[in-house]
């Protein structure tokens, strides 16, 4: 939350309050996060295009990829499948 821009918060009109951090300490974190947020949005768009292509041309592969992702996600949360 400390690195989240004020405008991106659920309640942007309320100042952030992080125990042990001042506004001056949070500002550099916000600036450092901006390029990463842009990169994540770009990657998300790329993956959506790949997903759309697979859905149109290789639906069976897309289903397999989704199964692998689901199984991997469950493994990371400590849930046994």
pLDDT tens digits, 19-78:
888 878 888 888 888 899 899 999 999 999 999 999 999 999 999 999 998 888 776 655
pTM flag (> 0.85): no
Structural tokens at position 38: 């842009």
pLDDT of 40 reads: 92
CA distances from 8 to 24, 28, 56, 57, 73 (A): 18, 16, 34, 37, 27
């Amino acid at each position: 939350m400390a690195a989240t821009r004020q405008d991106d918060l659920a309640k942007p009109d309320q100042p952030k309050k992080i125990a042990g951090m001042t506004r001056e300490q949070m500002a550099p974190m916000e600036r450092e996060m901006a390029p990463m947020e842009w990169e994540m949005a770009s990657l998300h768009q790329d993956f959506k295009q790949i997903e759309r292509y697979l859905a149109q041309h290789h639906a069976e592969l897309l289903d397999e990829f989704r199964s692998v992702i689901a199984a991997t996600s469950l493994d990371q949360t400590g849930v046994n499948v």
